Structure 1
Amino acid sequence: MVDTPEFVSGSAGHEEVGRAHGRTGWRSLPFATRWSINFGALLLALVGTVAILNSTFYSASGFVSSYLDSIAAGDTTAALAGADIERDAATSTPLIAPLPGELDRMQLLSDTVRSNGTHLLLFSFTLRGSAHRASFTVRPDAALWLVFSGWRFAESPFGTLTVTSHGDAEFTANGHRFITAGAGLSAEYAVLLPALVTLSHDSPYLVAAPTEVTVLNAATTVTAEVTPAPKPRFVAEVQKQLSALLDSCVTQTVLQPTGCPFGQDINNEVEGPPHWSMRSYPRLTIIPGATEGTWVVPPSAGTAHLVVPVRSLYDGSRSVFDRDVPFSVSYSIGFTDRGVSISSR
């Protein structure tokens, strides 16, 4: 049997022949020429990639977007390091770290190039669902790896929050505990812009409901106050101590019990031991004292009862003194390692 050669006809045949000639032609080129062409193509691709990255990720807007992404993630370290923020001037100012998930929906609205080469970028975003806007100013910095655009903040992205904690020097900001120099004394704290700070207080005897404070620019210092109120436990503890004191007072068989808020003067002769009892205990409230960090029980009324046999100095007749004795209490309250202490005002 004789093999019959295969023939490829039509356009397919022409394409095959063309490919064959193309391969032969490419291979026939000198190595240096082929290397130069490959290198040129690679260089063009690299230049194109660098151009794309410099217009997106390594652009002024990309720089700020990366910073905002770090804040949105609650990553303070990344926000500081990635944005190359210097904190030397703020080392004495405590930083309130952002909470993850508060900052969301960041979007660039405008990028204005100024005559001095800085970029003014306006972003919209939400802080816990509330819409806001803020601007950032950046300037060119040294190139990264000699090819990628470098940027840094021309205006500090730090804001200032001044907090005054009343009634207690301690408060909580974004879940972290801070202590001022004293109750009622203001203290400054740095925040990374934009910032949403939740302030609160929760200690064994005091509580302040969370309040939100928004800081959007560095030019304005935002002020906030934390004002805790007594917990029911605080009132109950003071009430317990006062009731115990009054219960001990009524055991004293004298007209003027020592260290007690009540007593009775009698102008007749006492013929037997006085007997005290409590008719009604004072119902206490607790309010801040005149001095920051102090708490007091304002004047509160109670009633004791006294029974004692007496003889008249006028005619010698005998009777029983049997009366209610109203009184009032007012106390200063202090905190100790063991809890609460009260002292008469």
Structure 2
Amino acid sequence: MKTPNSTPIAATRLALRWALAAVAVLVLAVAGVIIANRTLFSPAHEVKVLQRYLADGQGAKALGLMQASVPKGDAVALDGEVLKRTQAGITDFSTDKPQPVDGDSELRTVTAHYKATGVDQQSTYTLRHAGKSWFFFDKWEFEPSTLPSVKIKANTVNEVAVNEQKIPLEAGVSTLPVFYPSVLDASFSTKNFSADTRGVVVTQPAKEPVEIALKTQPTKAFVSAINSKVKKYLDGCASQQVLMPSGCPFAYNTSARVDSSTIKWDIAKYPKIDVSYYNGAWVLSPLTTTANLTLTEQDLRTGVKEKKTIKDTYSFTAELTTSTTEVSVVPVAGGEQPAQ
């Protein structure tokens, strides 16, 4: 049975419930704004967005987000597939809580932690508060900076492979602007020369480029080609039936009469080929060979003939003219023509 006061009481209770529900919704909305502001609209979130751009090879977006200037150099590692390859070794990327900067309440630093080819590394970014978005959410922008760069040095060759991309060298050097973090690997391989892969991890901007100096080594094919040419030269010397073969290190002096038909040179031991890089050129270490000479001498006083075998060691040098695919060997023993 309803009383005269029951309807107002019910209405009051309903209004109270709606008011409580409205307060709850408002509290949830405020909490949602706060959570979103600390996550989706935080400095750390901007750093994570940047890393996603880098991993996707979206260099233009990353550059715009960072507000970074690009130093002079070959920009091959700043976009597309090569950029993706510089990020392939970056894993387990995470960020710390943003930290205030003394002396400027609008600045925050964010330190990112990650593994670079399995090794723990970190990078620190600086962002500035840039007002509000939609009246509630903070806006953060990267402080303008200059990207780091990597200088790659190699002798003998005019191009190297960087993260599987061939890049030209000028006077043996190329400089590549890069994002950070980045992992760069450089190497080269030609018929005559090669360099094992050397890598570098770039974790922060720097005034001077990070260097990758490739150590050029002669290939087995290069040493084999030189060895073959030196052998051919010495075999040519041995084929001459004279006591002093022309343009050759061999020589035998005697006061006896010698029938040239009895002269026979044989190479007992060929030189060991040792190539090194010196003063901007590839050079051969001094060469030593051992040769046997057999001949018949006739004593000019008695007329007696004697068959002799002489074994001796001879030294000579040779000049190299090289390219990545060719090599010329010029023995320095009397103006010899290049050994072909």
Question: If the TM-score is normalised by the length of the shorter chain, which range does it land in?
Answer: 0.7 to 0.9
The residue aligned with 2:283 is 296
Root mean square deviation, CA, Å: 3.5
1:286 to 271, 275, 287: 275
The residue aligned with 1:261 is 249
- Choose 1 or 2 for highest CA Rg: 1
What is the deviation of 1:265?
3.1
Could you state the TM-score of these two structures normalised by the residue count of structure 1?
A: 0.72
The residue aligned with 1:233 is 221
- Equivalent position amino acid for 2:196 in 1: A
Q: 1:237 to 1:112 in 2, by over 3 A?
A: same
The residue aligned with 2:16 is none
The residue aligned with 1:110 is 97
| Contact 2:95/2:111, CA 8 A, preserved across alignment | yes
Q: 1:337 to 1:60 in 2, by over 3 A?
A: closer
> Structure 1 regions of 5+ residues with no counterpart?
1-40
Write the distance in 1 (CA, Å) between the matches of 2:110 and 2:130: 16
- Equivalent position amino acid for 1:277 in 2: D
2:157 maps to 1:178? no
Write the distance in 2 (CA, Å) between the matches of 1:70 and 1:80: 9
Write the distance in 1 (CA, Å) between the matches of 2:247 and 2:105: 77
2:119 maps to 1:136? no
Write the distance in 2 (CA, Å) between the matches of 1:309 and 1:66: 89
Q: 1:202 to 1:81 in 2, by over 3 A?
A: farther
What is the deviation of 1:233?
1.6
Write the distance in 1 (CA, Å) between the matches of 2:165 and 2:45: 30
The residue aligned with 1:68 is 51
Q: 1:134 to 1:141 in 2, by over 3 A?
A: same
Q: Percent identity?
A: 20
2:68 maps to 1:85? yes
| Contact 1:168/1:182, CA 8 A, preserved across alignment | no
Q: 1:119 to 1:234 in 2, by over 3 A?
A: same
Moved more, 329-338 or 198-207: 329-338
SS in 2 for 1:80: helix
- Equivalent position amino acid for 1:251 in 2: S
The residue aligned with 1:330 is 317
What is the deviation of 1:136?
0.8
> Structure 2 regions of 5+ residues with no counterpart?
1-24, 333-340
What is the deviation of 1:166?
4.0
Q: 1:176 to 1:215 in 2, by over 3 A?
A: same
Write the distance in 2 (CA, Å) between the matches of 1:237 and 1:323: 30
Tell me the alpha carbon deviations over residues 168-210 of structure 1, each in whole angstroms, 9 at most, x when there is no partner. Answer: 4543322223343334xx5543221112222222222222222
Tell me the alpha carbon deviations over residues 270-298 of structure 1, each in whole angstroms, 9 at most, x when there is no partner. Answer: 3224322221211222222x222x22221
Question: How many residues of Structure 1 are paired with residues of Structure 2 in the alignment?
Answer: 298
Q: 1:306 to 1:150 in 2, by over 3 A?
A: farther
2:192 to 205, 209, 214: 205
What is the deviation of 1:131?
0.8
| Contact 2:256/2:297, CA 8 A, preserved across alignment | yes
SS in 2 for 1:113: strand
Write the distance in 1 (CA, Å) between the matches of 2:47 and 2:139: 12
Write the distance in 2 (CA, Å) between the matches of 1:169 and 1:63: 40
Q: 1:336 to 1:226 in 2, by over 3 A?
A: closer
SS in 2 for 1:137: strand
Could you state the TM-score of these two structures normalised by the residue count of structure 2?
A: 0.73
What is the deviation of 1:308?
2.7
| Contact 1:136/1:157, CA 8 A, preserved across alignment | no
| Contact 2:131/2:138, CA 8 A, preserved across alignment | yes
